[in-house]
Amino acid sequence: MAKYLLEVDKLQTVFKTGKGEVTSVEEVSFQLKPGQTIGIVGESGCGKSVTSLSIMRLLGKHGIVKKGSILFNGLDLTKISESEMRNIRGNEISMIFQEPMTSLNPVFTIGNQMMEGIRLHMKLSKKEARKYSIEMLNSVGIPRPEAIMDEFPHSLSGGMRQRVMIAMALSCNPKLLIADEPTTALDVTIQAQILELMKNIRTKFNTAIMIITHDLGVVAEMADRIIVMYAGQVVEEANVFTLFDNPKHPYTKGLIGSIPHIDYDAEERLVSIPGAVPSFQNMPTGCRFHTRCEFAMERCLQQQPDLIPVPNDELDDHKVRCWLGEEELAATQPGNREVTV
């Protein structure tokens, strides 16, 4: 049996446009074990959702995985047929989509949409599927689940629709759950309830979870490992404690520094990262973050750094894509004088 449930290796995803191919995800690699949770964070437009859609093979007619592999239980998802992928999608791999307003079909009732996947993958009768659907709606905190089964999506609030999406994703007890902004449009009480439900699913069924979010508080609570993405690339990866205690990449430091704390002085200002994520059609040369980085050197403008292990890391699981990290690594090699970065 494979050591990892999911292995993404040097993934490159491109979209075909009238002006040629645009690369949205480049050289993304990570592994996920059964029962493990990995968090992917970064600003909008950094490639988080495209990475998840690449795994699900839901890129649309213009998107393709051009390079790399996506191994799920040893099976390369980039090479199997669409019919084989349909058997895996929604059954062994489920996804909570980012937009609850558009993810549900407006012309079918909630019950019809809940029961479709349950009957297909779990081979239940219509009566059994309806009973199980009601139980799942109840488990995510939806009041009057029997009545909601006969409602259409437009009659529900955004938060209710999001909970329906979560119930649908969890209904077949998937081996891998991909959650793209799962707590969007939910108040803090329901958010805590949903996160607790996902934890229980992970514990009970040994489900692996890949959670995509802007909320660092959510990944701090849920994730075992965190991947920080910027402009389609992984810029830092570490276990959750290391990343928050000792971030290495300037972008990661900026994200963490922008979180408000209750013990801040009234006059203290939050850290902000100047500028915006560059367009994929007009990516800067060298390090993709150099246009926004206060530590940028001449080398950063010309050469793109690799994702390398952080020196003196005992577990050897902390990686960073930064020339400052390269210099620190070089300084620790025999024969080199120590340099403080």
For residue range 230-261, list pLDDT tens digits in order: 999 999 999 999 999 999 999 999 998 887 77
Residue ranges with strand state E in the chain? 6-17, 20-32, 37-41, 63-72, 75-76, 93-96, 176-180, 208-213, 225-230, 233-239, 308-309, 319-320
For residue range 46-60, what is the model confidence (pLDDT) as tens digits?
Answer: 899 999 999 999 998
Return the pLDDT at 114: 93
Q: Let me know whether 16 and 120 are in one domain.
A: yes
Domain end point (choices 203, 229, 255): 229
Q: Are residues 256 and 315 in the same domain?
A: yes
The span from the CA of 30 to the CA of 9, in Å, is 7
Are residues 109 and 211 both part of a single domain?
yes
The residue that leads in pLDDT, 111 or 139, is 111
- Domain of 74: which CATH number? 3.40.50.300
Whole domain around residue 89: which residue ranges?
Answer: 6-229
- Same domain for 205 and 119, yes or no, is yes
Pairing verdict, β 208-213 and 37-41: parallel
Please check whether residue 239 lies inside any domain of the structure: no
For residue 141, pLDDT over 60 is answered with yes
Does residue 260 share a domain with residue 191? no
Same domain, 209 and 266: no
Asked whether residue 221 falls in the same domain as residue 286, the answer is: no
196 pLDDT band, cuts 50/70/90, is confident
Q: What pLDDT, on a 0 to 100 scale, did the predictor assign at position 328?
A: 59
The C-alpha atoms of residue 282 and residue 105 are separated, in whole angstroms, by 36
Q: pLDDT digits over 149-170, tens only?
A: 999 999 998 778 888 988 898 8
In a domain, 240, yes or no: no
Among residues 182, 198, 229, which one ends one of the domains?
229
Which of the two residues, 329 and 288, has the higher pLDDT score?
288
Same domain, 178 and 205: yes
Q: Are residues 282 and 253 in the same domain?
A: yes
**Residue 331: Cβ within 10 Å count:** 14
Residue 303 within a domain: yes
What proportion of the chain, given as a percentage, has pLDDT over 90?
52
Number of domains observed in the structure of the chain:
2
323, part of any domain: yes
Give which of 12, 164, 22 is closest to 96, Cα–Cα: 164
Q: Does 11 lie in the same domain as 55?
A: yes
pLDDT in tens, 309-339: 887 666 668 999 999 866 655 555 444 434 3
Same domain, 264 and 136: no
Say yes or no: 108 and 192 in one domain: yes
Q: Is residue 217 part of a domain?
A: yes
Q: Is residue 234 part of a domain?
A: no
Q: Is 238 inside a domain boundary?
A: no
Q: Which of 194, 229, 264 is the last residue of a domain?
A: 229
Q: Contact, 163 vs 140, CB < 8 A?
A: yes
Q: What is the pLDDT of residue 340?
A: 35
Residue 154 lies in a domain: yes
- What are the distances in angstroms from CA 262 to CA 217, 265, 268, 315, 316? 14, 9, 11, 32, 33
Q: Say how far apart CA 154 and CA 138 lie, in whole Å.
A: 20
